[in-house]
């Protein structure tokens, strides 16, 4: 479904990615782990078209993502949940789940996804009319994931959804992500600093260090390595 080949990115003189390749098959759960500064966010931002690469290619269902206009990329079915619980704080929970998603998914799919989001995160139904800024950090992260799901995507990309959360809340969020993958068959690409928890969820994992993939394989192989 997603094929990243020999991707290189520089910020001025700093090489953030130095030839990264990875593949996400349809229906797979793929995780990229690595320490702070490894290039995880840069990888996501390049796939999303936010940061331009100096070399390499990104293909989604065979199409060159980097060559197409943003207006077209927006309709391919890739949802990117950025790091840092990005929600519209001055809008209600319900408005957050509508914004952008409703036009992208279409009414029918959006209504179905809203129902699913409320099943996964009942708190978002309870707090539908409240401003997102009044939610706790964990609830805001659930809402950020909900915003991604509301687009009814083919591929859900999650950038460090556990960042800054208490371990119990992070575990709950990982559980829900895993549930979406198992029950809905959604294709997921997750980047995380919490290595053990994130690798446990995936079919296939990549370890990124200073802009390079240093290890890759199915969970059984990566887990056997520590
Ligand atoms: P903006 O256009 O919003 O100012 P930037 O391109 O400056 O965005 O930054 C994008 C992201 O990268 C932000 O999260 C920012 O904090 C981070 N960032 C910017 N410069 C650096 C840097 N030198 N090292 C690490 N992170 C950086
Ligand atoms: P991670 O997500 O794994 O923490 P990043 O992709 O944010 O890593 O950063 C990779 C490298 O690029 C780091 O050395 C970081 O300081 C640098 N970097 C990230 N964003 C910017 C930016 N906007 N401008 C300059 N350097 C950046």
- pLDDT of 81-115, one tens digit each? 999 999 999 999 999 999 978 778 888 999 999 99
Q: Which helix (H) or strand (E) is 47 found in, with range?
A: helix 40-47
pTM of this prediction exceeds 0.80: yes
Of ligand 2's listed atoms, the one at least distance from the Cα of 159 is 2
Please give the Cα distance from 67 to 31 (Å, whole number). 25
Q: Does the CB atom of residue 38 touch ligand 2 within 6 A?
A: yes
214 alpha carbon – ligand 2 mean position (Å):
18
Contact (Cβ atoms closer than 8 angstroms) between residue 54 and residue 120 = no
pLDDT tens readout for residues 27-68: 999 999 999 999 999 999 999 888 999 999 999 999 999 999
Ligand 2 atom 25: residue of nearest CA: 11
Say yes or no: CB of residue 39 within 6 Å of ligand 2. yes
Q: Is the ipTM of this complex over 0.85?
A: no
Q: Residue 5 Cα, ligand 2 centroid: separation in angstroms? A: 20
């Amino acid at each position: 479904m997603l094929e990243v080949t020999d991707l290189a990115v520089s910020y001025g003189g700093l090489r953030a990615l130095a030839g990264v390749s990875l593949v996400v098959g349809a229906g797979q759960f793929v995780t990229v782990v690595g320490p702070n500064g490894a290039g995880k966010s840069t990888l996501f931002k390049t796939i999303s078209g936010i940061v331009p690469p100096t070399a390499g290619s990104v293909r989604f269902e065979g199409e060159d993502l980097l060559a197409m206009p943003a207006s077209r990329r927006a309709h391919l079915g890739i949802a990117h949940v950025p790091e840092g619980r990005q929600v519209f704080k001055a809008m209600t929970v319900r408005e957050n789940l509508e914004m952008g998603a409703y036009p992208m998914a279409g009414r029918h799919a959006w209504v179905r996804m809203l129902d699913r989001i409320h099943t996964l995160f009942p708190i978002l139904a309870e707090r539908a009319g409240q401003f997102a800024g009044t939610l706790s950090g964990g609830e805001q992260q659930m809402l950020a994931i909900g915003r991604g799901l509301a687009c009814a995507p083919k591929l859900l990309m999650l950038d460090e959804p556990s960042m800054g959360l208490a371990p119990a809340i992070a575990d709950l969020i990982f559980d829900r992500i895993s549930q979406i993958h198992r029950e809905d068959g959604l294709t997921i690409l997750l980047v995380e600093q919490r290595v053990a928890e994130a690798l446990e969820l995936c079919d296939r994992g990549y370890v990124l260090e200073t802009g390079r993939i240093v290890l890759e394989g199915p969970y059984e192989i990566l887990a056997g390595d520590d």
